[in-house]
Amino acid sequence: MGKNDTSFMAACVQMRSGLDRAQNVKDALALIEDAAACGATFIATPEMTNVVDRKGGRMLAALPDENALEEIAAFSAAAKRHGVWLLIGSLAVKQGDKAANRSFMFAPDGKVVARYDKLHMFDVDLPGGESWKESKVYQAGVDAVLVNTPLAKFGLSICYDVRFPTLYRELAQAGADVLCVPAAFTRQTGEAHWKTLLTARAIENGAFVIAPAQGGNHEDGRETYGHSLIIGPWGDVLAEADNDAPGAIFAEIDLKKAIEARQRIPNLTLEQNFKISIVNQ
């Protein structure tokens, strides 16, 4: 923990993952080691830590099932070696004829204590001809996940999930005081909405938001926004990467701040059930 028994140091690892899974893991492990050396006891990596490949067929052809995915053993060993809580924002994992976009939470003893599969698929057509159809390659998850640890209660999510506020509201009402949003936001949507969406999720839930990102021009031709963020429960930016380069940002997470924010604005407990009445003129 940090200065007191309600605080800890968190790190967001920003990456620029490519096509080579082994190289991506090597890059991630180096950044995780640096973050641990700087005192972080909770370290989070971005979405698609192990591979960024927009050609789904090529990615799937080279991707094993979870029980044969070497990345898991590597990250388990890293969590144990550094004695940290490690959230691998997501790994592509073969699942039937598709892949899962799956987060893994590792405890300081190296055990996988939680998995979360991205619920919402990024199926969009953007201005300028940019188009994404994640559901063609990835199988959507079905369950939200809250991880209760000695550091905090972490609500898990991935990237496009951030546009669905009811997910975060239910996680917060279930006890989450830290919301994790590992991502690979496109530059177009990132420039427009990344910081605003993350800040909104923090404010409306009185929770910390930890959002490690992919950033820059990737081997597969895509461009991601970077600008990893750690935001406090009052909407204050605690740490922000001002670019899209690989690296890490750090912030102290003091859970008393979440308690204070929720006492000031008790919207989590005052929410009312309602129905919509439609008035036709």
The DSSP secondary-structure symbol of 14 reads: E
DSSP 8-state code for residue 193: I
Backbone phi, psi, residue 200, to 5°: -65, -45
Which of 12, 159, 180, 257 does the annotation list as catalytic? 159
Q: Answer yes or no: are the C-beta atoms of 179 and 147 closer than 8 Å.
A: no
Residue 159 falls in the annotated catalytic set: yes
Catalytic annotation on 12?
Answer: no
Catalytic residue among 12, 71, 94, 118: 118
Q: Is 133 a catalytic residue?
A: no
178: three-class secondary structure by DSSP: strand
Q: Would you tell me how many other CB atoms lie within 10 Å of the CB of residue 227?
A: 23
Q: Which two tokens stand for residue 136?
A: 């063609």
Question: Phi, psi (5° rounding) for residue 40?
Answer: -70, 135
Q: Looking at 12, 47, 134, 180, which residue is catalytic?
A: 47
Q: Give the Cα-Cα-Cα angle 172, 160, 262 (nearest 5 degrees).
A: 20
Q: What angle do CA 29, 93, 170 make, to 5 degrees?
A: 90
How far from chain centre, in Å, is Cα 263? 26
- The catalytic residues are 47, 118, 159
